[in-house]
């Protein structure tokens, strides 16, 4: 595990907007964090001064602009903290701690080496599967994967067209985008794992699937990919207090006979699916 | 203002201690803060054998506080002695080892194991953890068993001995007196209050292990009451904790009778909190003309 | 959703009760809210003789809560029976009289005095007030004395009998069981936690009587834990309270095992809170397809 | 005791400004309250949503405009709640409960009757003594006293010129203003009770003194006026939770042998000085 540089900065909110899918997006001025952050890293935010809410809230980086010194986060309003964030106005300053977690970079995992010069005719593929706000952390990975020569496709699903976030930036980066909605209002009618199933057949052992979304979706993917021996990485969420490894609160059970736990904030948030238990209690 | 305090023969350069359980063994903390702002650090509750901890979810926010049910996840005394303490020693900050046993026998064994290490400044006997089934809080709710647990460590350990008490009792002073009779050189309080939260969507308790320990500002009034009472009931120094966020909170505890204070949950929200408390205390001392922080200990009842 | 609940033979149109001590005897409340939104009201802790209460300051804000040391200021049972209850009866809301005695004898006298009044729907035996010297919490910290205080009232009073417990004990379930053995038809919990605050300018405790009772959202996790435990330990209904601010909080208590809930401190901040909780519960029932609120009682452990 | 009409309204903040003496002043749109409020009544304000701060905060009405439906409050920043209030911006909505307390009106006290047609040559006098933010509630009383034919003078003191609030509106209402500062930077050098002492000699039994300020100031006035049998009313502050009589938190000890308490929010905030104990514990 590398030792990330973690900064606790008072960042200015540069912009906040409500986007498609009912999510909010904010750009924050945080050069120290933008300079070193990797895909799938996150920040822990003190949403407002005072004790209500009391703990910080973790959010993935949905865009990283090291040159401009800006990071972006994208969130759905699900409770008190995210509700307050929706009322942020430009100029406000918020305390953010980051970048946190190991993130996920193809280089770190030693995955790019063999693929840049593909053996056969087919370029190695990176398949992203996202449900709901699970799309947020995907974009920085697309950026870096394209640089490493991967073909990238995204499978993204939600309840309905309105619940889906905008995917333009993915398309503009040369990523093939496949959409599913449960009500059929856009793309494939059904859940995203159903849509992904057709593609799964054509994947080979050198390809990689990275998924982020609700636990049941991740569970299903784990069994699908497991059956076909496809390498699956899952990004996990757990209730967090510190986000940096101090409290041991964000435990996730390791799979197999090992009775232990790993921690989302220091060992994750991305895990090789085989190494963790995703089963609902 | 002279911030140094004397705690059971141990001199701390300032009275701000890292509470056990929010500092691990320091390895994660160094990435977000400078250990040297602490007057001393109390490491994660350490058991004889390694413990994996409790099933998730392990934390949950509550009004002005949080519940945790970590369950003493730790690598066990041997690894702590051989790997963690030697690394932590480099910072030159006194290390308090927080220990938790499942039996008097285990407490004694822990006492003698840590006696072998020159890197331990003090032992803190945790008879107050609400998150483990065997041992844990059981020893701290009854004066007799608190006496015995303390005495078990005392026989094996000859350095400064701190006993950490739980507020989940009806008369904390009598438990504190029992700890002193058992050989405690200082009392630290409070550990968390037993609490619970319900997830109304799932219609189940939020925490994987149902109940957890409540910490943070919410419990500050309870902690202050315990410090106010116990510091008058025992002849040894008290380390006060429970919801301290800033130097004003620290002053409340000191005036209520605490010789030193510890910060727990605040570290999780704001890792550089020891620095801001120390700087706040220095400024306060200048403005109010207080020469020694120790002059304020217990002024509220003296 | 059918909001009515059955509490020890008493039917309430909804499960939201005014907690004792934040409603007086209703005279002030009517100026700021409509009593009829409450399923029942528990009046201020009433003693045999009038009490002037404790010296000020009597309240103090704390993180997500407050301390109070009112000290049972009340006009005494006679005035309550002759003046307060007849006036309060006009609203047609069941009245629970919260009583506090300094001795078993006094508890029995209070029981028989209120037996004479047809306007009392239930008695709530307060063995949990932390703010008076004689009696008060003393009866509630020990199963034996709780049994005796309950039994003293039970002998004189034949209507619904509620016993209100304190969380300042190490095993609240055993106290609850003792209350049931003594004749309690329902248990209400929790009363306040004993706490303290220091005024760092004056270097003295804030409250005139040093310690006070901690209430409000801060204590909700402790209250929920007590309800979760006690509702499984006794065969009688539980009235849950401690930090309830909205319908979600109320649902947490009901799912944890409370048949009805009470709002205390919330009324002080937002006098119309009973209405917003009742309306919130109705909306929740519609959205989630819950037919009877009573179907949710204890779902978290059932 | 009359039964005041109490309203819990969501009031819009119309203006907030920082004024001389370092105090803040806000105008709130609350027609229901403005319509019925009397001098020395107050409101209990939920300073911000959420639990931090948790309780409401009590503030006197420093101006009442029934026709415009506006009330004004004036405050010093002394802690968390008043600090947050200083960041209020126009357009914000806050929950305010009021009007609270009995207020103080010369009519209610039966004081105006004999004075409107003075017996001798001298018009009855109303003397106001204020320290610090104790000046805030005085202005509405000046307005109503002038209508009732009283001669009104104000004695107002503070540490220094900078600590003093603006008294223009008092002068404009035909109120004689006397200033004291402890450092002598304006008016009489010394405390306000010292300044008031000279005037005390000329007062007669039909005159009334109304004071608001720190307890030690009120204590001193009580003994000064007591010696000369001058009727003194004091406006008291106590820590409040509800502000409406529910909690019995705002107790003040009654003087004499009566061992009881009265309550600032329902029996006050103005008390005849003789009836209450002002002595520090
Ligand atoms: C590493 C990580 C990265 C995340 N990235 C994003 C992101 O990019 N965009 C986004 O919208 N959300 C993200 N989340 C989830 C986000 O942190 C929670 O939605 C947020 O903390 C809820 O705060 P709240 O105050 O609005 O909700 P609360 O009022 O606290 O709770 C509302 C609901 O959210 C659930 N919840 C609370 N905290 C968490 C948590 N830490 N994890 C999961 N569920 C929680 C509760 O069970 C509850 O049902 C991430 C979480 C983690 C751990
Ligand atoms: C009837 C009444 C009318 C008032 N009118 C005004 C007014 O017009 N203008 C004005 O500036 N202030 C007024 N006050 C005082 C004002 O309510 C307090 O200054 C305010 O509540 C402090 O809030 P805070 O959160 O900033 O301070 P906190 O952080 O809560 O406390 C800061 C300091 O203020 C003290 N304090 C807290 N609450 C009170 C209280 N209720 N009464 C007295 N001291 C308190 C504390 O002891 C502490 O030292 C009035 C108080 C009462 C009871
Ligand atoms: C996440 C967490 C883990 C804790 N682990 C321990 C522990 O291992 N041993 C111990 O004695 N206390 C433990 N505590 C209790 C704290 O040391 C402290 O007594 C308590 O949290 C009150 O202080 P606070 O409000 O400042 O957090 C833990 C607290 C938290 C929040
Ligand atoms: C100001 C105040 C006065 C109280 N007085 C009484 C009382 O007289 N009798 C009693 O049984 N409980 C009394 N209580 C306790 C409440 O009824 C309730 O048990 C407690 O406050 C927890 O609920 P809450 O958090 O909703 O306030 C009082 C509480 C407050 C805040
Ligand atoms: S959130 Fe604290 S260890 Fe992960
Ligand atoms: S503040 Fe509650 S009675 Fe006066």
Band (A1; pLDDT cuts 50, 70, 90): very low
Residue of A3, A4, A238 with shortest CB distance to B57 = A238
- Note the pLDDT of residue A46: 97
Which pair of structure tokens corresponds to residue C6? Answer: 């059955």
Query: Any idea which residue has 């369950």 for tokens?
Result: B71
Residues of C in contact with B141 (CB under 8 A): 170
Band (A121; pLDDT cuts 50, 70, 90): low
| Residue C88 belongs to a domain | yes
Residues of D in contact with A51 (CB under 8 A): 51-52
Tell me the β-bridge partners of D100.
D42
What is the residue-level pLDDT of chain D in tens, covering all 281 positions? Answer: 344 489 999 999 999 999 998 899 999 999 999 999 999 999 999 999 999 999 999 999 999 999 999 999 999 999 999 999 999 999 999 999 999 999 998 776 666 544 444 445 566 789 999 999 999 999 999 998 888 778 899 999 999 999 999 999 999 998 999 999 999 999 899 999 999 998 888 888 888 999 999 999 999 999 999 999 999 999 999 999 999 999 999 999 998 777 799 999 999 999 999 999 997 53
Could you tell me which residues come within 8 angstroms of residue D195 by beta carbon, excluding any fewer than 6 positions away? D155, D157, D178, D179, D180, D187, D188
- Note the pLDDT of residue C156: 96
What pLDDT, in 10s, does the model give residues A133-159? Answer: 999 999 999 998 888 778 899 999 999
Q: Does residue C146 have an active-site annotation? A: no
Is A81's C-beta closer than 6 angstroms to any atom of ligand 1?
yes
Contact check, Cβ <8 Å, D242/C268 = yes
Band (A111; pLDDT cuts 50, 70, 90): low
Is A117's pLDDT higher than 50?
Answer: no
Catalogue the active-site residues of B. 129
d(CA D16, CA D73) in angstroms, rounded, equals 10
Nearest CA to ligand 2 atom 23: D81
| Residue C202 belongs to a domain | no
Please tell me if residue B221 touches chain C, with a CB cutoff of 8 Å. Answer: yes
d(CA C199, CA D239) in angstroms, rounded, equals 13
Q: Which of B114-123, C130-139, C212-221, D161-170 has the lowest mean pLDDT?
A: C130-139
Name the residue in chain A with its Cα closest to that of B31: A6
CA distances from A192 to A7, A19, A74, A152, A255 (A): 36, 21, 20, 17, 25
CA distance C64 to chain A (A): 8
Contacts of A199-207 spanning 24+ positions with Cβ under 8 A: A199/A127, A199/A153, A199/A155, A200/A224, A200/A225, A200/A228, A200/A230, A201/A228, A203/A125, A203/A127, A203/A228, A203/A230, A204/A122, A205/A229, A205/A230, A205/A231, A206/A114, A206/A115, A206/A124, A207/A124, A207/A125, A207/A126, A207/A127, A207/A231
Axis-axis angle for helices C172-181, C220-233 (nearest 10): 50
CA distance A180 to chain C (A): 27
Q: How many CB atoms lie within 10 A of CB A235?
A: 26
Output the domain CATH number for residue B100.
Answer: 3.20.20.70
CA of C216 to the centre of ligand 4 (A): 9
CA of D211 to the centre of ligand 4 (A): 35
How many structural domains is chain C composed of? 1
| Residue B184 belongs to a domain | yes
- Note the pLDDT of residue C140: 85
A79 is in an annotated binding site: no
Query: Any idea which residue has 């190695």 for tokens?
Result: A124
Domain boundaries, chain D: 7-100, 109-275
User: At the topology level of CATH, where does A7-100 sit?
Assistant: Elongation Factor Tu (Ef-tu); domain 3 (2.40.30)
- Note the pLDDT of residue D117: 41
Tell me the β-bridge partners of D178.
D155
- Note the pLDDT of residue A2: 43
Residues of C in contact with D236 (CB under 8 A): none
What pLDDT, in 10s, does the model give residues A7-33? Answer: 999 999 999 999 998 899 999 999 999
Residue of C65, C225, C299 with shortest CB distance to B218 = C65
Nearest CA to ligand 4 atom 26: C264
Band (A109; pLDDT cuts 50, 70, 90): low
Tell me the β-bridge partners of B23.
none
CA distance B231 to chain D (A): 24
Is B256's pLDDT higher than 60?
Answer: yes
Options 3.40.50.2300, 3.30.70.1150, 3.90.550.10, 3.40.50.80; CATH for D109-275 is 3.40.50.80
d(CA D2, CA B171) in angstroms, rounded, equals 47
With contact defined as 3+ CB pairs under 8 Å, the chains touching C are A, B, D
What pLDDT, in 10s, does the model give residues C136-169? Answer: 778 888 899 999 999 999 999 999 999 999 999 9
CA of B62 to the centre of ligand 1 (A): 14
Closest to C100 (Cα-Cα) out of C133, C69, C125, C78: C125
Contact check, Cβ <8 Å, D55/C268 = yes
Please tell me if residue A248 touches chain B, with a CB cutoff of 8 Å. Answer: yes
pLDDT, averaged across chain C: 96
Contact check, Cβ <8 Å, C265/D241 = yes
| Residue B202 belongs to a domain | no
Q: Which of B179-188, C178-187, D118-127 has the lowest mean pLDDT?
A: D118-127
CA of D16 to the centre of ligand 1 (A): 36
Nearest CA to ligand 3 atom 14: B21
Which pair of structure tokens corresponds to residue B299? Answer: 């002024």
Is A193's pLDDT higher than 80?
Answer: yes
| Residue B284 belongs to a domain | yes
State the pTM of this model.
0.96
> What is the mean pLDDT of the segment spanning C290-302?
97
**Coil vs helix vs strand at D25:** strand
Residue B188's Cα: distance from chain center in Å? 6
Question: For an interface test with D, which of A46, A48, A50 has the most D Cβ atoms less than 10 Å from its Cβ?
Answer: A50
Nearest CA to ligand 2 atom 38: D239
Q: Which domain holds residue B267?
A: 5-58+70-194+214-296
- Note the pLDDT of residue D141: 94
Q: Which of A251-265, B20-34, B219-233 has the lowest mean pLDDT?
A: A251-265
Q: Which of A142-156, B45-59, B236-250, C126-140 has the lowest mean pLDDT?
A: C126-140
Q: Is-contact D21 D185, C-beta < 8 A?
A: no
DSSP structure string for B109-140:
HHHHHHHT-TT-SEEEEE---TT-SSSGGGGG
Which pair of structure tokens corresponds to residue D124? Answer: 């009855």
What phi and psi values does residue D231 have, to the nearest 5 degrees?
Answer: -70, 120
With contact defined as 3+ CB pairs under 8 Å, the chains touching B are A, C, D
Q: How many CB atoms lie within 10 A of CB B287?
A: 9
CA distance B122 to chain A (A): 21
Q: Is-contact B43 B97, C-beta < 8 A?
A: yes
D113 is in an annotated binding site: no
Q: First vs last Cα of chain C: how many Å apart?
A: 21
Pinpoint the alpha helices (H) of chain D: 31-36, 80-85, 113-116, 138-147, 168-172, 192-200, 215-227, 264-267
d(CA C231, CA C190) in angstroms, rounded, equals 12
Question: For an interface test with D, which of B63, B216, B243 has the most D Cβ atoms less than 10 Å from its Cβ?
Answer: B63
DSSP structural state of residue D173: T
d(CA C125, CA B16) in angstroms, rounded, equals 44
CA of C274 to the centre of ligand 1 (A): 30
């Amino acid at each position: 595990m590398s030792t990330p540089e973690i900064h606790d900065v008072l960042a200015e909110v540069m912009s906040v907007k409500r986007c498609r899918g009912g999510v909010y997006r904010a750009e924050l001025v945080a050069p120290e964090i933008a300079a070193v952050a990797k895909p799938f890293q996150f920040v822990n935010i003190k949403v407002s001064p005072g004790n209500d809410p009391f703990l910080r809230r973790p959010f993935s980086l949905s865009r990283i602009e090291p040159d401009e010194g800006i990071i972006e986060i994208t969130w759905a309003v699900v409770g008190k903290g995210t509700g307050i964030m929706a009322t942020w106005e430009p100029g406000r300053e918020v305390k953010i701690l980051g970048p946190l977690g190991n993130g996920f970079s193809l280089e770190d995992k030693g995955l790019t080496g063999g693929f840049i010069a593909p053996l056969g005719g087919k370029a190695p593929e990176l398949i992203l599967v996202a449900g709901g706000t699970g799309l947020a952390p995907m974009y920085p990975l697309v950026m870096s994967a394209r640089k490493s020569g991967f073909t990238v496709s995204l499978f993204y699903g939600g309840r309905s067209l309105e619940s889906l976030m905008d995917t333009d930036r993915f398309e503009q980066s040369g990523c093939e985008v496949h959409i599913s909605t449960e009500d059929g209002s856009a793309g494939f009618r059904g859940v995203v794992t159903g849509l992904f199933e057709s593609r799964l057949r054509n994947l080979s052992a050198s390809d990689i699937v990275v998924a982020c979304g609700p636990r049941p979706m991740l569970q299903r993917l784990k069994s699908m990919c497991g059956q076909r021996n496809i390498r699956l990485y899952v990004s996990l969420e757990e209730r967090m207090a510190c986000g940096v490894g101090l409290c041991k609160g964000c435990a996730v059970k390791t799979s197999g006979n090992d009775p232990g736990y790993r921690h989302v904030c220091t060992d994750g948030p991305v895990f090789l699916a085989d190494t963790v238990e995703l089963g609902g209690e | 203002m002279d911030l140094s305090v004397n705690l059971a023969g141990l001199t701390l350069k300032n009275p701000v201690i890292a509470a056990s359980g929010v500092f691990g063994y320091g390895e994660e903390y160094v990435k977000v803060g400078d250990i040297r702002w602490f007057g001393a650090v109390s490491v994660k509750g350490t058991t004889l054998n390694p413990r994996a901890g409790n099933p998730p979810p392990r934390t949950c926010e509550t009004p002005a506080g949080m519940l945790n049910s970590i369950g003493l996840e730790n690598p066990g005394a041997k690894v702590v002695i051989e790997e963690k303490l030697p690394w932590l020693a480099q910072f030159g900050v006194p290390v308090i080892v927080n220990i938790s046993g499942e039996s008097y026998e285990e407490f004694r064994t822990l006492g003698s194991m840590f006696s072998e290490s020159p890197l331990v400044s003090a032992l803190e006997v945790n008879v107050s953890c609400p998150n483990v089934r065997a041992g844990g809080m059981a020893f701290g709710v009854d004066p007799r068993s608190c006496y015995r647990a303390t005495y078990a460590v005392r026989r094996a350990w000859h350095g400064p001995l701190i006993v950490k008490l739980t507020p989940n009792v009806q008369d904390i002073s009598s438990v504190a007196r029992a700890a002193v009779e058992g050989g405690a050189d200082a009392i630290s309080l409070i550990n968390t209050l037993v609490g619970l939260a319900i997830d109304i969507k799932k219609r189940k308790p939020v925490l994987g292990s149902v109940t957890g320990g409540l910490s943070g500002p919410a419990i500050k009034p309870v902690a202050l009451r315990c410090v106010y009472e116990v510091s008058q009931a025992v002849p040894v120094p008290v380390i006060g904790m429970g919801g301290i966020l800033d130097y004003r909170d620290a002053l409340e505890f000191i005036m209520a009778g605490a010789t030193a204070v510890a910060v727990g949950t605040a570290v999780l929200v704001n890792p550089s909190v020891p620095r801001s408390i120390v700087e706040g205390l220095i400024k306060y001392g200048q403005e109010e003309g207080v020469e020694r922080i120790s002059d304020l200990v217990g002024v509220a009842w003296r």
